[in-house]
Amino acid sequence: MSEPEQRSYDVAMSVEALASAWARTEDAVAGSVVLADTEVSGRLRGGVPWTLGGAESLSMAIVVRPNIAPMQEALLWAVAGLAVAEAFTVATGTEHGAIWPDRVVVSAHNEPSCFLNVLVQLRPGAIDHAVIAVRVDLRPLQIEGIECNGTELVSTIADAVQSSIAQIEQDPVALLEAFNDRCQIIDQLVLAKLLPRGEARGRATAVDSDGFLVLESSTGMLERIAPASLRSLDLADPHRR
Amino acid sequence: MSADAESVASRFLNAILWGEHRQVWEMLSPTGREHVLEAGARRGLDPLQAQRLRLGTSPLDERDTFLTGLVHGLRVDFASVSLEDIHPTGDPVPSADGSFEIELECPASFGAGAWAAGSLTVSEVDGVWRIDRVHPLVSRSE
């Protein structure tokens, strides 16, 4: 089996598009990484434009080929969140956490410096491949004076993602426990705005075995939120209850 | 008395917003619950289950599932506006049957002022204001 490769581009439409095309047409092995200095049309989850480029940012996408059921595809957001939060902790020396489904932060009250995106390509009865995109605003990391070597960060993230993929295949319960421990919104009151419309509020209790966020109201009503139906997620103001 | 009715209306909307499904059920009057169960029956609710809900003898799972559906349905009824922004307005209007109509409004999406968002019918049951009917305004042409 061949080793994962890395491809770097000065300019790309988006790292997900290149990584997905590589996986689809050239059978890129799991762990292969695409890097771009500048993205013409970088998009975060939900199509939000990503405009940073050059030395201010890091845009990368990792090809993964998880051996999990297609119905569990939403778990890949937890895989990505856990892996990147752990990689940031190692690379910066500062404890990082995740905000389900797509952000990595120092704490739930900090502005996120890292955004995730997950694209899944299915084939009959299985996941053919997925692309985990990681976009990092390096400016806050530099402002805080943290030594952050870009090349090292890329390999740390890629290794952590591969390691989390292996864990989700072997012991998904342990991975979810680890993710829920790192998830900064667990036990917090949150407001989930949904697609195409509507919202749900409640205390975030966990990300469940399908990768859905579970909200619990004060009377015990449970609502499961899928990443695909989430428009935005914010901490709710408990005083407005 | 009318201030109480308005605060009950606000609490009811808040309970829908925060998914407090048992609170929503408790705040419905017997008439209101009957309307909910009739609406459920039109959508295939089992008559025996409806009777258990009416009498309060449902197993917890059954009741919670039904009430979760009720809260989701009420949210859908108000989906054209932000539920958080809806508030009672004006004085409750008395009806001949002793109930009161409370108008709801929300901030206008464009221009100044507020838009009508529907109304709630409330009545006093054993000295407590309860919700009889929810009338969401689903179209601006109504």
* Total CB pairs under 8 A between chain A and B: 41
Interface test with B, best of A217, A218, A223, A240 (most B CBs within 10 A): A217
Residue B93 · residue B111 · CB < 8 Å: no
Is B20 in Cβ contact with A201 (below 8 Å)? no
Query: Residue A72: is it exposed, middle or buried by C-beta count within 10 angstroms (0-12/13-18/19+)?
Result: middle
Query: Hey, where are the domains in chain A?
Result: 6-182, 189-240
Q: Which CATH superfamily is domain A6-182 in?
A: Bira Bifunctional Protein; Domain 2 (3.30.930.10)
Whether the per-residue pLDDT at B142 is higher than 60: the answer is no
Chain B residues contacting A via beta carbons under 8 Å: 14, 17-23, 64, 67-68, 71, 75-76, 79, 83-84
Q: What is the mean pLDDT of chain B?
A: 90
CATH top-level class for A189-240? mainly beta
Kindly provide the ipTM of the predicted complex, given to two decimals: 0.81
Cα distance between residue B138 and residue B141, in whole Å: 9
Q: Residue B79 is part of a domain; what is its CATH number?
A: 3.10.450
B23 CB neighbours in chain A (<8 A) are 219
Q: Are A217 and B64 inside 8 Å of each other by CB?
A: no
Contact residues, chain A, for B74 at CB < 8 Å: none
For residues A190 and A237, what is the distance between their CA atoms, to the nearest angstrom? Answer: 8
Range of the domain at B107: 1-142
pLDDT in tens, B3-54: 589 999 999 999 999 999 999 999 999 999 999 999 999 999 999 999 999 9
pLDDT at res. A147: 46
Of A150-159, A215-224, B28-37, least confident by mean pLDDT is A150-159
pLDDT, one tens digit per residue, over A75-99 is 999 999 999 999 999 888 889 999 9
Contact A30, A63 (CB under 8 A): yes
CB A207 within 8 A of CB A213: yes
Neighbours of A151 (CB within 10 A): 9
Mean pLDDT value across residues A7-25: 96
Asked if A222 lies within 8 A of B68 by C-beta distance, the reply is yes
For A134-143, A209-218, B92-101, which range has the lowest pLDDT when averaged over its residues?
A: A134-143
- Say whether pLDDT at A146 is over 50: no
Residues of A in CB contact (< 8 Å) with B are 197-202, 215, 217-223, 240-241
CB neighbour burial string for B47-79, b if at least 16 within 10 angstroms, e if fewer: eebbebbeeeebeeeebbebbbebbbebbebbe
How many independent structural domains does chain B possess? 1
